[in-house]
A = this chain, B = another copy of it.
Amino acid sequence: MSDASWLPSLTTETPEEGFALAVKMARVAVKLTQPDAAVRDAGRAAYGGNADSLIAASQVVATHFATVAAANDYWKGR
């Protein structure tokens, strides 16, 4: 594992930062799922694409955010 891990921790300072992390996790998952160039193009299309694709991508974000929020004990002090 390189020093520059793309996911060093699930801990964030704020809910907003946690949400941004969930968006990043959804994007990276597409790349890791199939890393070659043709698929990267498909990935780009996925996120710039039609309404249903956008909603489906948002569902992935929501699933990751649930994980990140649990990891941060829901930032309960805030």
Residues of chain B within 8 A of A74, CB atoms compared: 10, 67, 70-71
Residues of chain B within 8 A of A13, CB atoms compared: 1
How far apart are the CA atoms of A25 and B57 in the complex, in Å? 13
Pick the most buried of A6, A13, A25: most chain B CB atoms within 10 A of its CB.
A25
| A73 vs chain B, min Cβ distance (A) | 9
Would B11 and A5 count as touching, CB distance under 8 A? no
| A19 vs chain B, min Cβ distance (A) | 6
Residues 58-75 of A at the B interface (beta carbon under 8 Å) = 58-67, 69-71, 74-75
Would B69 and A59 count as touching, CB distance under 8 A? no
How far apart are the CA atoms of A60 and B57 in the complex, in Å? 10
